[in-house]
Structure 1
Amino acid sequence: MSVKKIIVGISGASGSIYGIDLLKKLKQVANIETHLVMSDWAKENIKKETNYQPAEVAEMADFVYDNHNLGARIASGSFLIDAMVIVPASMKTIAGVSIGFDEDLIMRSAGVMLKEQRKLILVPRETPLSAIHLENLSKLAKLGVQIIPPIPSFYDHPQTIQDIINHQTMKTMDALRIKNKIGRRWNV
């Protein structure tokens, strides 16, 4: 079985725990290789919002890149990657991706995914959404980007915050076509 290579970009939006949880769950799956990029603000939010340190999060990935290194291999279309998830995705990052502004490695890698027509998933974390945010997201959706906002479901009767996070990770892994039994699914 071949190895599936996935880039996980953690931007500076609130909700870094979603990216951390995805990394933890991907690490448990055989034949998955993760490539992590964290923005400077992601590292700050990890310290503010979670019980993790950025170095601990980096240890969850197979490969880690400096967000300022536009010469990293994931910045090139010749490096074969199966999918990329930006989780959480800040509106700044989404805006940059939507206009092709490759200011940092997260945006550049997302741009590569678009130009190479590879799987790109965004987990936008902002509310309320302005018309500009919606235009950027709509533009990217029309280009084939999958938008999976972290909106909790209640049919699964979440009891903890981790239950809500699990549901989001389940939905993201479903979009990556990775079989999982993370959260409760709709069952009538």
Structure 2
Amino acid sequence: MRKKLVVAITGASGSIYAATLLKKLESIKDQIESCGVVMSSNARDIWSYELNSEPPTLEYPFLEYQKSNFYAPFASGSAGYDAMLIVPCSMGTLGRIAAGVSDDLVTRAADVMLKERKKLIVVPRETPYSLIHLQNMTRLTEAGAIICPASPSFYSRPETLEEAASTVINRVIDLAGLKLDSYRWPGDSGH
């Protein structure tokens, strides 16, 4: 069954994660019925700075929505979206979601995912975490969200920044219930 997804890109450092996610989602678009993308203003600025390119407004086959557009389909539970991926997620956005503050399309869509018991996958990119960050992550986890920190793994021996970012994004795509050919832990190798 094809999935309806929301991708939110917020103003945390880590635009490479969002760029990698959009590229991988495009490669498996046959599994996706629709994908809405929302970027915060800070996300656009950070994307330009970190990736030395303009944000991907029309580069991918997904619909982009302004963060002030509360008429986007995924602002309502009746639209039946399956998952929301916030990549990267700033601590400000995470805190507003944890507090139930729906002041823009990102936080409203996250609130909808939680109330509808759909997948909300949050990829925070911050270090170190303060007690407030940890408490907000606990609140979201207790509400049903999945916290997937932007912590690359290295057992696949990534050689580039994109390959390291992919170790996180492959996990996010798995968590969203999509199929992607990626590195898997080999299991019992007899060693």
State the TM-score, normalized to the length of structure 1: 0.93
1:152, 1:75 → 2: CA distance?
31
Residue 42 of structure 2 is matched in structure 1 by 41
| 1:13-162 alignment, distance < 5 Å | 13-29=12-28, 30-32=30-32, 33-54=34-55, 56-162=56-162
Aligned length: 185
Question: Where does structure 1 lack aligned partners over 5 or more consecutive residues?
Answer: none
1:52, 1:72 → 2: CA distance?
26
Q: Is the 8 A contact 1:36 1:58 kept in 2?
A: no
1:22, 1:58 → 2: CA distance?
15
Residue 113 (structure 1) shift: 0.4
Residue 134 (structure 1) shift: 0.2
Residue 59 (structure 1) shift: 2.9
Question: Where does structure 2 lack aligned partners over 5 or more consecutive residues?
Answer: none
Residue 185 (structure 1) shift: 2.1
Q: Is the 8 A contact 2:57 2:64 kept in 1?
A: no
2:20, 2:180 → 1: CA distance?
13
2:8, 2:58 → 1: CA distance?
11
What amino acid maps onto 1:84 in structure 2? Answer: M
2:110, 2:26 → 1: CA distance?
22
Q: Is the 8 A contact 1:9 1:37 kept in 2?
A: yes
1:130, 1:172 → 2: CA distance?
23
- RMSD between aligned residues: 1.3
State the TM-score, normalized to the length of structure 2: 0.92
Identity of aligned residues (%): 43
1:61, 1:15 → 2: CA distance?
22
Residue 89 (structure 1) shift: 0.3
1:61, 1:120 → 2: CA distance?
22
